[in-house]
Amino acid sequence: MPVHLFVGLGNPGRTYEKTRHNLGFMVLDRLAERWGGRFKPGFGPYDFLQTKTPTGKILLVKPSTFMNRSGEAVQDAVRRYEVPLSGLIVICDDFNLPLGALRLRPKGSDGGHNGLASVIQALGTSDFGRLRLGIGLRPGAGTVDYVLSRFPRKEQAAVETLVEDGADALIAAAENGFEWAMNRYNRGNIE
């Protein structure tokens, strides 16, 4: 049976909960809610949840290393669970995409995202799937402060839809293939 590894990027701890930079964690938390599962400490620097579906085993991983060292957790999980890179999808925020945009890609650059850069460096390749979730960037906003800020009330509905659709897109990629999921869920243009 195929093994899929979904890694949500974010920062651990209450300080960073519900911030823009933690959208990857939020999508995995949504999947855990749907499956009635709970994350547990992993054997490496991450929390994990494992489930079996009719199409294979799915592992959810939330690194506990902070964003800039996410690659350590991803590398450990890929090796420990013997996941082929074709089964890996990394989920992260993207301020180059408008709020609400969703982009599945089978490979690519880090796009200026430090978490993705860490994963690429640790794995020695950029040939793995990623799900980028648009958070936009306000003109004049400092990047670090912006990504570490919480979503204002007026953006909550868009964020809720993005998290729900992100979870759906991951399941679709596992069940129907990456290309099918891209065609079904990708929306929004790069600004």
Distance CA 112, CA 31 (A): 27
Distance CA 17, CA 148 (A): 9
**Is residue 36, in this structure, part of any structural domain at all?**
yes
* Cβ(45)–Cβ(76) below 8 Å: yes
Total count of domains within the chain: 1
Q: CA-CA distances (angstroms) from residue 18 to 8, 29, 174, 179?
A: 13, 11, 26, 30
More confident: 97 or 56: 97
**Is residue 191, in this structure, part of any structural domain at all?**
no
**Is residue 93, in this structure, part of any structural domain at all?**
yes
Q: What is the pLDDT of residue 189?
A: 62
Tokens in use for 126? 């950029």
Q: What is the percent of the chain with per-residue pLDDT over 90, rounded to a whole number?
A: 86
- Residue 55: pLDDT band (50, 70, 90) is confident
Q: What's the pLDDT tens digit per position in 75-130? A: 999 999 999 999 999 999 999 999 999 999 999 999 889 999 999 999 999 999 99
Q: What is the CATH number of the domain that holds 171?
A: 3.40.50.1470
Q: What's the pLDDT tens digit per position in 75-89? A: 999 999 999 999 999
21 in active site: yes
Catalytic residue among 21, 62, 113, 132: 21
Q: Which domain holds residue 74?
A: 3-185
Distance CA 139, CA 129 (A): 29
Q: What is the pLDDT of residue 191?
A: 42
**Is residue 127, in this structure, part of any structural domain at all?**
yes
